[in-house]
Structure formats: C-alpha cells, structure tokens
Amino acid sequence: MNRIVQIIIFLLVLISCNKEVVNTPNPENGDSEFISAVDISRYPEISNVNPTFYDLDGNQEDFLTILKENGINAVRLRLWVNPLNEHSGFNEVKQFSQTLKTKGFKTWLTLHYSDTWADPGHQEIPLQWQGISFTALKDSVYNYTKKVVDEIQPEYIQIGNEINPGFLHPYGHISNNFQQFKELMDTAIIAVRANTTDTEIILHFAGIDGSDWFFNKINILDYDIIGLSYYPIWHGKSLNNLKDKMQSLSETYHKKIIIAETAYPFALDWNDWTNNIVGLDEQLILPEYPATIEGQRKFIKQIIRLTNEVENGIGFCYWGAELIAWKGNQSTDASPWENQALFDFDNNALPVLREFNAE
C-alpha cells in the first residue's frame, strides 16, 4: 500500500471516529425505499439444471421475474475469494450482478474474505493470502475490495459475514487481536470509501445476544448500517426481543439497521435426502408461527412490521429463497433448506411472497 493511500486511510479514520449523525435515506436518490431483499446466492448453480417455476397464479414464469413482480427490490449475494469451483466466485457474482441490475434489482454483496463459508464458527483466511505478512495481507484486502467495488458496483456491501468473532483469523480476531482486526476493517472500508460514494457499508452480527458488546467494540469504525441475523432456531424465539434490540442498537450507535438474514419453514417435511436444518417443532415459535404456509407468511409479515416500527429500520433479507431440492428428491448433497425456500416442493411461489410488497 503506497504512502498516499496510507494518508487517506488515516484521515478518513479520524473523520469516522467523530461521526455522530445517522446517515438518513435521501429520497432524491431513491434511498428511502424499504429494502425487501432475498439472498439467492446459489441460484446461478441451480439455474444450470433449468428448473421450472410457477408464479402465485400458477403460471410458469421466470424465477427472477416472479421475485421482481412481488416487490423484491434487492438481491444479496455471497462472494468467496477463490472457491473450489466457480460458484460464488468473483466472475460468477459479477456476471449475475449485471443480470440483476438489468432487471432492476439493487445488489448487496457479502464479502466473506474466505474461500468458503465465513460465520461465527469459521473465519478462515483465503489460501492465496495465507503465509504472507500482515502488511501484505492488508494490501490484498484493499486491492480485492477495490476490485469488487470498481467492477461490480453494489449498492450495499458487507465487510465480512457474521463477524461476531472478527474475520481473517487469526490476524483479525476481534477479541484476541483487536488492533489488527481494526486495521483490516479500516483497510476494507477505505477501499470502499475511496472508490465510490454510492455504496453503503453494512457490518453484520449473527443474533441478538452479544450484539451490544460487538457494536460498542466496533463503534470507532466508519460504516452505515447495522446488520443482524435472526433465526429462531439459533437466536431466540421472541420477536419482541428482536425489535427491542434493533431499536436500542440503532439509537445507541446512530445507525440505520437491517435484518440481514432471516427465514422460516412452510413445512417440517423434506423434498430430498439432504438433511434439513429445521425439522422440529421445538425449533419454531409456537403456537404463533407453525411450520405451515400460513405460519411462514405470518412470520415474515411480522418481521416487516417490526422493522418498520423501529426508528431507522430500513428493511430485511430472506436467506435461501432459491434453495429448492434442485438435484432431485434422492439427492444427499443438495438443499438443507427446501422447506424454508419461497417456493414449495413443486416450485410454486408461496403466499409469503405477497408480503414483500408491504411497507
């Protein structure tokens, strides 16, 4: 990283430390629109088998058209550095992002800074970056992030995915090595700020418990939006607690806030032999939201309602909307999520999709 870039980083970090004003939506730029998003990161792979989808009237229709016609206005995609195959790699994500933009979707990229899944239990440095010096690692993070911003131009970008323990371990461990975590985060953030004024930065925490500690810890960073994952199976079964936490975090840290991941089952049944993640009543919010078509619809309706009721709540993202059993009903390595997709076991659009138009 050259001297000029280092000076820019230093100056912008100083500015970020003094940020006190919430970055409110600008209606003139169309930013006031409630974000009704879906994560369909695996759709490019699924589309290779050319599955047939049906809209809410039972008519065969293009998958992305069904999403668009039901009010979905943003698509979230994961991005891996050098995955084992092309899926979720730079070229696939860039190409798919271009397709999404032509169809009128905003794009929301979640940079895992890994070759595979990054989450609270896994934050592994990409193989290509392993064994290099910390200075070289920062250079790699800067150059990679800059490339993403320059070539894909997302409206929203996550620096890391579910970074409860930090990212790029062991260097970027938030508890064991906070200074290097901060330097890596600052480097990625500056790569965004220095190369675009149109992309908002999301920092993403999985769950509710521990979120106060996390966002207090990172309060010195320059970002725009607090992102939370919320799944009842892992993060508690009280939507009131979720709403209260969202309100508290937004007020405390003067940030917009979004539910970056959520989902709910329409059944406890399965459509292939890949083990499903949710399959028991004890994993649900009962009796209010059973694993039925109506229970799924009511859950998302309430997620949207509470997000709208939170001051500075700007939207939500439904994770795994596309994860039908696309390899057939005998597959053991396809979807662990087909009972939580937005399409039933015959690829019919589910009534929950109507809620995405609600604000």
Radius of gyration of the chain (CA): 20
- What does the buried/exposed string (b/e) look like for 237-256 if buried means 16 or more CB atoms within 10 Å of the residue's CB? eebeebbebbbebbeebebb
Prediction pTM value:
0.91
Q: What is the pLDDT of residue 358?
A: 64
Question: What confidence tier does 217 reach under pLDDT thresholds 50, 70, 90?
Answer: very high
- Residue 351: pLDDT above 60? yes
Q: Which residue has the higher pLDDT, 359 or 158?
A: 158
First to last CA, the chain: 44
List, in sequence order, the alpha helices (H) in 275-328.
Answer: 293-309
Q: Which two tokens stand for residue 20?
A: 């006190």
Q: Looking at the predicted structure, is the pLDDT value of residue 116 above 60? A: yes
Asked if the model's pLDDT at residue 232 lies above 60, the reply is yes
The tokens of 300 are what?
């998302």
3-class secondary structure, 137: helix
pLDDT the model gives residue 6: 53
Point out the least confidently predicted range of 10-14, 178-182, 318-322: 10-14
- pLDDT digits 0-9 by tens, 313-322: 999 999 999 9
Per-residue pLDDT tens over the stretch 273-314: 999 999 999 999 999 999 999 999 999 999 999 999 999 999
CB 118 within 8 A of CB 161: yes
Residue 23 has pLDDT above 50, yes or no: no
Tens-place pLDDT, residues 182-210: 999 999 999 999 999 999 999 999 999 99
CA atoms within 13 A on the CB side of 44: 22
Which residues are designated catalytic?
162, 261
| Residue 223 to residue 5: CA distance in whole angstroms | 19
All domains in the chain, ordered by first residue: 3-357 (3.20.20.80)
- Spatial neighbors of 215 by CB under 8 A, at least 6 apart, are 203, 205, 226, 249, 252, 253
